[in-house]
Structure 1
């Protein structure tokens, strides 16, 4: 088991697929619901239901993909072949979802979204599990996930430049034009990024996995307290992020009065996330991962109410607020994924199996479930308060209600995250002890394998 430091260029090559992953993820939350509810004519309630059901489909596909990727390696390794197989599926589904021909039905949307999420699951789980298996070192794991998250955040402004340019030139049928352009970006970038990843980054050799019956496998997961805490925090972070994404265009357009530059200003939010990732990593080296998550959570409790102070039509104040809101955008995803590798060490020590794929499937599942529930809850709430996604059709009290929901969601969710992660039981000392025990067992297994059969 090696814990050597990986070179920057190799980590960059490894992290490339995170760009199309984010290019898929953000539009699904920010642009697609509004596009299908408005220009495609499906309505808020129908679209909210479809997106919630599509994400709930991940309850089946995520754990299944995690188990399959752990149990069925190839001569390429444990993860790379699954990443390659996801590409053709994602290319077809991205085209059908982002470049639809009107009119469409709810069945069209939910059908293609189901298959899109299958391909996305294959890609994201395999990529995250592979990242966790690149190193056993506590802080190096954070560095690897920091690279991956930086590339994922970089993919966001790259894909957002497309609708920002379209908004500035005022293209005909703007909603359809910007969604279609995002789809073509995914179709072009995905095969290139995966190709570079596969060519330049080898997988570590995996050790043989001992048999494990279903009861023991499930029992080990259920009594893993750090896993439960991490999944609960991830669900809340996913809920908050998806809720804000689904409301951002509405808030920026109808409350802040900056709809014409909404996509451009969103770039600042994600650039803030990229800029502060090195700061977050250094802080985690000093405080530990879970304490850094707590600090980020408390920041997101105290800062969002500043949104109420944004003057209508003031681009500069809105940009400044979004920049500092971006401080936390990469924190939880980077550190949760690094912490999950540490949590998986506990399971490996107990079961003898390296079930990294399954554990990252659970992590993506909770985030997706949080996002699915958020979109449904937010759209139902907006419908309940009488919000209408049309200019000039909302009363001042309705817009105030929109802002209250927009601010209260991250405040409540992050307060709960800070409380859950306050006493997380794995830090640097505990993880190094776990790795010491695992390394000792590995040496014993090797010695037993190499020992002549006639010796005791």
Structure 2
């Protein structure tokens, strides 16, 4: 496959990433610390919006299988809806700001629509990438070319995705620090820039990327049929605990920076170093996966993440440079979390006609962990933590435990399950 075709395919990963993880990281802090919503009620809105998103993903995957992952109308409509809702999240209208109730309703509606649009586009995009090879590929079998092709598509997708999260981590963090009038104008420009990127990426995908294999038309597959694949179910368990270990600190990192490290002025530095480390690590993880296998490489990434979580739990006020090292180490590990699991999913599924359904269920697990992570805000409120109050010893202990210790425990569970799962993959 030509490199140019992989680049045209991977480019859509940039705006999709801009609308995914950074929104999960920044929107809770933006609506509580900047717009004044209560922490507990915001956490509940996040939970129910994410649960709605979780439930719909398998059905979206089924529809993508029915209409085709390269259906132009599907991709264009979902891209347009994503642009509109992304703007709505950052720029709630005046009537929505009149009261906390109205702003909570606006947040819930915009999140639900944004999640729907993102799922429609992202699941089709992942199914497109998985359809670039035609054989029943095994990681250590004879079809090395197809395996490397899967890794190549994943690498370009996640590399552009890393660029997207770097941009969307630094730019909004900087804008929010400006005065309100200036920030509103700059957020409008940011939303326009996002829409332009989406348009360019969609055109590149539809015109320049290699077309996925056309599958036969078929009826919708029952979800219970997907779960009859024991290796797929085992991989789902791993993905659940690993995603939960990533989603919780992603939801709380801005609170941790502001109140535990007490360095809000360095938020852009911390977030950009995290994602830049992930981007730099991606080619290394792909190269390592080609040599020792995706499952072994992912195990190593998990170990690095555990060490970084342990380090974060020991930090406090003034530990700016130590936390910067934690961001770099955990960001490097994130590259493995992003690039390798979709490759393993494609390897354990031989039913290529229903990859949209499989990716829909896969996406459901990821979204469900994000919904659970949203409840961490409500948990912190129960434990007496309040944002921007740095003299609350018990609250800061609760923040450290929830941000660092819980993710470490979930990551260790994922690592244990992955080691057991790896025994089913030939060496």
Query: TM-score by structure 2 length?
Result: 0.88
Structure 1 equivalent of residue 137 of structure 2: none
The structure-2 alpha-carbon separation of the partners of 1:175 and 1:403, relative to structure 1 and needing over 3 Å to count, comes to farther
Alpha-carbon distance in 2 for matches of 1:267, 1:33: 19
Q: How does 1:45-84 map to 2 (within 5 A)?
A: 45-73=40-68, 78-84=70-76
- Report deviation, 1:115: 1.5
Relative contact order, CA 8 A, sep 6+: which one is greater?
2
Structure 2 equivalent of residue 150 of structure 1: 159
Alpha-carbon distance in 2 for matches of 1:326, 1:178: 28
Deviations 1:361-381 (A, max 9, x none): 1111110110111111x1122
> Highest Rg: 1 or 2?
1
Mind listing any 5+ residue stretches in structure 2 that lack a counterpart? 135-145
- Report deviation, 1:68: 0.9
Mind listing any 5+ residue stretches in structure 1 that lack a counterpart? 1-5, 431-456
- Report deviation, 1:80: 4.4
SS of aligned partner of 1:390: coil
The structure-2 alpha-carbon separation of the partners of 1:253 and 1:179, relative to structure 1 and needing over 3 Å to count, comes to farther
Structure 1 equivalent of residue 212 of structure 2: 204
The structure-2 alpha-carbon separation of the partners of 1:414 and 1:37, relative to structure 1 and needing over 3 Å to count, comes to same
Structure 2 equivalent of residue 193 of structure 1: 201
Alpha-carbon distance in 2 for matches of 1:315, 1:39: 23
SS of aligned partner of 1:248: helix
Q: Which moved more, 1:299-308 or 1:17-26?
A: 299-308
User: Is 1:111 aligned to residue 114 of structure 2?
Assistant: no
Alpha-carbon distance in 2 for matches of 1:297, 1:68: 34
The structure-2 alpha-carbon separation of the partners of 1:409 and 1:79, relative to structure 1 and needing over 3 Å to count, comes to farther
Cα pair 1:39 1:176 within 8 Å, conserved: no
Structure 2 equivalent of residue 235 of structure 1: 240
- Report deviation, 1:149: 0.9
CA RMSD of aligned residues (A): 2.5
Deviations 1:238-282 (A, max 9, x none): 222221111111111111121112122210000100111111112
The structure-2 alpha-carbon separation of the partners of 1:301 and 1:10, relative to structure 1 and needing over 3 Å to count, comes to same
Alpha-carbon distance in 2 for matches of 1:98, 1:339: 35
Structure 1 equivalent of residue 148 of structure 2: 139
Structure 2 equivalent of residue 366 of structure 1: 365
Alpha-carbon distance in 1 for matches of 2:254, 2:304: 23
Cα pair 1:52 1:372 within 8 Å, conserved: yes
Q: How does 1:275-286 map to 2 (within 5 A)?
A: 275-286=280-291
User: Is 1:322 aligned to residue 331 of structure 2?
Assistant: no
User: Is 1:33 aligned to residue 28 of structure 2?
Assistant: yes
SS of aligned partner of 1:330: helix
Candidates 90, 95, 100, aligned match of 2:87 = 95
Structure 2 equivalent of residue 337 of structure 1: 342
Query: TM-score by structure 1 length?
Result: 0.83
Deviations 1:270-295 (A, max 9, x none): 01001111111122122221222222
Structure 2 equivalent of residue 399 of structure 1: 396
